[in-house]
Amino acid sequence: MQTLYALLVAPFVEYAFMQKALFGSLLLSAGACPVGVFLMLRRMSLSGDAMAHAILPGAAAGFLFYGLEILPMTVGGLIAGIVVALGAGAVSRFTVQREDASMAAFYLISLALGVLLVSVRGSSVDLMHVLFGTVLALNNEALGLIGAIAAVTLASLFVFWRALVAECLDPLFLRSVSRLGSPVHFIFLGLVVINLVGGFQALGTLLSVGLMILPAAAARFWTARVETMCVAAVAIGFASCVAGLLLSYHAALPSGPAIILSAGAVYLVSVLAGTRGALRARLVTHRHRTA
């Protein structure tokens, strides 16, 4: 019993930085994982990855002028994310290029520009901080920001739930029967951007999308209902955060990658053993053939 306590509970009881890391990552999961479900259902998972890199030049500009201050980097990242989202959308709408190609182009430009801006003033340590985050160094200001983002996200999902689900299933039908068609699309993109900005504080620009997409992708192998999928994604996100932080503490590993790898492990298990996973599908097929 004491061994289990030392392994699973003691790190969060004895160290304040572990408590803040756990609280911040759980708040991040509560907001980002449901958004990841809708990203996945819209087949925009890779767009979310591109948007995560798109916030880098704005965050880097804030770092260039104010150093590792949360508010300037957050505002900069938010502005950059919105500019890239609108720019990619405009290119796809007014030219022959599709949105995935324009998003990829903007993401590559943003990533290179952001790395360049950080390198102008900072060191390799600062660059690693921006790219991969420092979840174990979250302070009260960062926790407040992540908590506010989670609250806004959950409130928005509650208000626009039916419209968001309808747009995932049939966006043309939604636009034909409701005026919410176009607005809800931009509201959703805004939720993606602010959750990536919140994730940037803990996991950096390269890994912030991982906690958004991996739990959502894993949840899809367990249920087909959107509501249940969102709940399952949040639960998987919570478990991944706890497991990743404990793995980071006991094995002296970087905390951000440990959290994302924990979510990746759940995803791989879900692919094989989920109620809608590969093994169940093969078992059902085998039963039909032998029946």
What DSSP assignment string belongs to 64-129? HHHSS-HHHHHHHHHHHHHHHHHHHHHHHHHSSS-HHHHHHHHHHHHHHHHHHHHHHH--HHHHHH
Alpha carbons 248 and 132: distance in angstroms, whole number: 14
Q: Are 34 and 192 in contact (CB under 8 A)?
A: no
Sign of the dihedral defined by the CA atoms of residues 117, 120, 124, 129, in that order: negative
What is the reported pLDDT for 105? Answer: 82
Alpha carbon 185 to chain centroid, angstroms = 18
Q: How confident is the model at residue 287 (pLDDT cuts 50, 70, 90)?
A: low
Angstrom CA distances, 261 to 33, 37, 191, 199, 257, stand at: 16, 19, 24, 16, 6
Alpha carbon 97 to chain centroid, angstroms = 26
What is the reported pLDDT for 278? Answer: 65
Alpha carbon 46 to chain centroid, angstroms = 11
First to last CA, the chain: 49
Please report the DSSP string for 205-247 in residue order.
Answer: HHHTTHHHHHHHHHHTTT-S-HHHHHHHHHHHHHHHHHHHHHH
What is the reported pLDDT for 126? Answer: 63
Q: Does position 239 have pLDDT exceeding 90, yes or no?
A: yes
What is the reported pLDDT for 127? Answer: 65
- State the DSSP code for 137: G
Q: Does position 144 have pLDDT exceeding 80, yes or no?
A: yes
Buried b (16+ CB within 10 A) or exposed e, 115-127: bebbeeebeeebb
Buried b (16+ CB within 10 A) or exposed e, 243-267: bbbbbbbeeeebbbbbbbbbbbebb
Alpha carbon 242 to chain centroid, angstroms = 16
Q: Are 58 and 80 in contact (CB under 8 A)?
A: yes
**Position 273, amino acid:** A
Q: Which residues constitute the domain of residue 276? A: 2-290
Query: The pTM is what?
Result: 0.86
How many structural domains does the chain have?
1
Model confidence pLDDT, tens digit, residues 91-121? 776 776 776 677 778 778 887 888 787 777 6
Alpha carbons 161 and 155: distance in angstroms, whole number: 10
Contact residues for 101 (Cβ-Cβ < 8 A; gap 6+): 92
Share of the chain above pLDDT 90, in %: 31
CATH number assigned to the domain comprising residue 191: 1.10.3470.10
